[in-house]
Chains A and B, each alone.
Chain A
Amino acid sequence: MGKRSVIPFGPQHPVLPEPIHLDLVVEDERVIEAIPSIGFIHRGLEGLVKKKDYNTMTYIVERTCGICSFQHGMGYCETIEHIMDVEVPDRAKLLRTIWAELNRMHSHLLWLGLLADAFGFENLFYQCWRIREKVLDLHELTAGARLIFSVNTIGGVKRDIDEDKQRTILETLSEVEKELKVIEKTFFYDYTVESRLKGVGILSKEKVHELGCVGPFARASGLAVDLRKLEYAGYSKIDFEPITSNDCDSYARCYVRLKELYQSIDIIRQAIAKLPADKTLSTPVKGNPNGEFIMRVEQPRGEAFYYAKANGTPYLDRIRVRTPTFANIAGLCEMLKNTELADVGLLVLTIDPCISCTER
């Protein structure tokens, strides 16, 4: 047995976009145990329910995260819509689907860039983020903002995507698809990428199930769990199957996210083709919610969980947001066991951590 020591990792670290701390118990260069601690950017957003009414909470919940902001807003609005038994117009459902998938694309491209940067492939990093800019431009074109859209409202959405904008989306996505095929070759067939990702950070399907992991992290270990199959928003009208891999390693996580980019493009095309002629964007809502509901949404990083308890007044008793990264931390700690110290930074990144989301 080698000498054991504890090495602190984070909260500030070159591969970490956001702060998380790990105490790494190492034996020589091998990690034996990883003990996480968070809380560096806890904002107490859930506590604001006592001060902000349920409509204003839409804006608060959207600010849980800058990357999957739209999906947080959508998840919250759908929770309240279920409590109030409000049916959202079909057009609004499909518009939510389009924005949700654009959000997924920008998140996955951001992650692919960060991953490339983490293993020292700067050119690939710039290419990923250059493509991501095109998706952000579509956000701006359709919602008037690049990250936090604020287009969700309880009962539907606030903005429409007219035919000109639909055409621009389709043209841009065709360009993005072509460019993805170029970077895909590097991610899938480059020797240096393979050597850093293949067989690294293996987490079995059984462990992923036991530890409650979600999203691409779970799908890369063969667990075909994709909450879009719940058919919230407009997904009941969309034909798609979850993308999985049975390799269970970091390479598989990269594969799943890359393939999901193509899937998102396909979903957006289907949603635009199915937009109804009726341009009603929202159902007016009167009164205050009373009751409780649990809603689940598939965010770019996996299953997000929303629980709201309302009491008939404008102020909710409780809003709970369980983000996908929170669910994946247990899997991360398990995955880090028995890995090389040099791989830790890369492995933390492979769960696509969003610590602002996690701490709320």
Chain B
Amino acid sequence: MTMELVNSKVLKVGVQHGQTVTARKGSMLYYKGDVTFTPHSMGGGGGMPGFSGVAGMAGRMMQGEHVALMVAQGAGEVFYGLEGLYVEIIPLDGSSMLTVEADRLLAYEGHVQTSIVPLTSQGGIRGAVRGAMTGQGMFTTQVSGQGTVAVLSHGGCFPLQVGGYGGEVVVDPQAYVGHLGNITVDLSASVGFRDVVGRGSGEATQLKMSGQGTVWVQASEKKF
């Protein structure tokens, strides 16, 4: 399977027999060849590795992490795009997991696994506080396996290295798109707690990313 960008906002996926591509419902622009589409919902089918059925069910139902999907299979080319948002292709080599919000996922190869995890599983209470502060909700989506994932952003996104020579990166919660690798995300308030409570979006709340990996940020504070 091949995934490439036609332009910064349109994704082209080449599908062959025996392969599937899962994409957000309503994002298919056009296709060529013999391709069929079946509705699908995230969290179903593949199961939720590491989580009990109850947690999985709660995850699917809560906080908008439940996104309607379409599975395309057959042989041909499918073109995807959504609401003029920018598309970024992220290749996964299987060694680490990509964490991203479900509504930012445009398309992914059929054999990568997605699971919905509570934010509390990555950073305890602070993770939950982060979800509440940034409006991301209490659940997020993890993508694992080997394959390619296409992620949506507003204003185009770019990767920043975390760890190694670069050290820590601090990211605006609204500009945060997702991260890959072994990264700890901490909510930090650099201007003092009063500003966090008082004036909402400023430089008051920040996400401190430490560890080893890559974080994607978008050039906009717009949430979609």
Binding partners A and B: no
Residues of A with Cβ closer than 8 Å to B? none
Residues of B with Cβ closer than 8 Å to A? none
